[in-house]
Amino acid sequence: MEELVRELLKGLGEDTARPGLEKTPRRVAKALRELTSGIGKDGRAELESAVFESDSEGMVVCRDVHFVSLCEHHMLPFIGQACIAYLPRGKLVGISKLVRVTEIFARRLQVQENLGQQILDAIDATLSPAGSMVHLKALHLCMVARGVRQEQATMETLHVSGAFKEDPGLPWSVLRGKA
């Protein structure tokens, strides 16, 4: 990978021997490995590792889950927060697993729309809740640094199932902190 980065830099007209770029190929390769460390990992298996039986029917909400992903179209980061909620039906999952499943799916070449659906599908398949939702809000550097150059524009996506789909007001109640 380092050699490919070196060739890319040369293609940009850079001198890869200059002091500031000597170690850049190694740093870029390391960063890309970290940013794509979710490739090949199973988000559902991560959730399954901490499922507990419970009689609780109270809504579970995990807010402000920060994530970084790479846009599959430009390989530029998009950075955001997730709000994940579900209505248990006999099963709970360790709360940190909601963060970990988000991280697994985010750490790959991705689009935000698919990221939210993947998280939702893993929750639904693992817990069979009465309903679930995944709300993502992210800043996309492909829109900030190039193209339309919108420094403040964010994108929001909302994926819902079960009770959250049947009652369209429920997800918005959760997002406003009223549920």
How many domains does the chain contain in total?
A: 2
Residues 61 and 133 in one domain: yes
Residues 122 and 68 in one domain: yes
The pair phi, psi for residue 64, each rounded to 5°, is 55, 45
Report whether pLDDT(71) > 70. yes
Residues 61 and 95 in one domain: yes
Q: What is the CATH number of the domain that holds 153?
A: 3.30.1130.10
Report whether pLDDT(54) > 90. yes
Structure confidence at residue 178 as a pLDDT band (50, 70, 90): confident
Residues 29 and 108 in one domain: no
Q: What is the mean pLDDT of the chain?
A: 95
Nearest to 76 by CA among 12, 3, 158, 147: 147
Write out pLDDT tens, residues 9-33. Answer: 999 999 999 999 999 999 999 999 9
Write out pLDDT tens, residues 125-174. Answer: 999 999 999 999 999 999 999 888 888 899 999 999 999 999 989 999 99
Predicted pLDDT at 97: 98
Residues 13 and 89 in one domain: no
Residues 170 and 134 in one domain: yes
Residues 60 and 22 in one domain: no
Residues 25 and 92 in one domain: no
Report whether pLDDT(179) > 80. no
Report whether pLDDT(7) > 80. yes
Residues of the chain above pLDDT 90, percent: 91
Residues 22 and 59 in one domain: no
Cα dihedral angle (95, 99, 100, 105), rounded to 10 degrees? 140
Residues 104 and 18 in one domain: no
Contacts with 1 (C-beta within 8 Å, 6 or more apart), sequence order? 25, 28, 29, 32, 33
Residues 70 and 157 in one domain: yes
By residue range, what is the domain housing residue 29?
2-34
Contacts with 148 (C-beta within 8 Å, 6 or more apart), sequence order? none
Q: Are 150 and 143 in contact (CB under 8 A)?
A: yes
Residues 13 and 49 in one domain: no
Contacts with 149 (C-beta within 8 Å, 6 or more apart), sequence order? 143
